[in-house]
Amino acid sequence: MKNIQSRSLTRSLPLARAGPGLVTLKVYDILGREIQTLVNESKPPGNYEIEYNADDLPSGVYFYRIQTEYFNATKKMVLLR
């Protein structure tokens, strides 16, 4: 579980094949509604840090989902005020 007090998400892209690919990173609320798309572009494999401004969101449980052609992950995060 990721605490987003720092408003920063860090995630590596473990792509199975070399070369860039389309990456999407989206934030969802506890009901599964999409809150925001943080990334929707081609990226090479590597480690990335995304600054996420969550000032307009109330405290609570959220999920972020990262998707590439070869990798999908959904992680829970907690926003504390």
Cα–Cα distance measured from residue 45 to residue 60, given in angstroms and rounded to the nearest whole number: 31
Which residue from 67, 68, 63 is spatially nearest to 52, judged by alpha carbons? 63
pLDDT band at 6 (very low <50, low <70, confident <90, very high): very low
Contact 68, 13 (CB under 8 A): yes
* pLDDT tens column, 24-55: 999 999 999 999 999 999 988 877 888 888 88
Contact 5, 38 (CB under 8 A): no
Classify domain 2-79 by CATH number.
2.60.40.3080
CA distances from 77 to 4, 27, 74 (A): 7, 10, 10
Q: How high is the pLDDT of residue 62?
A: 94
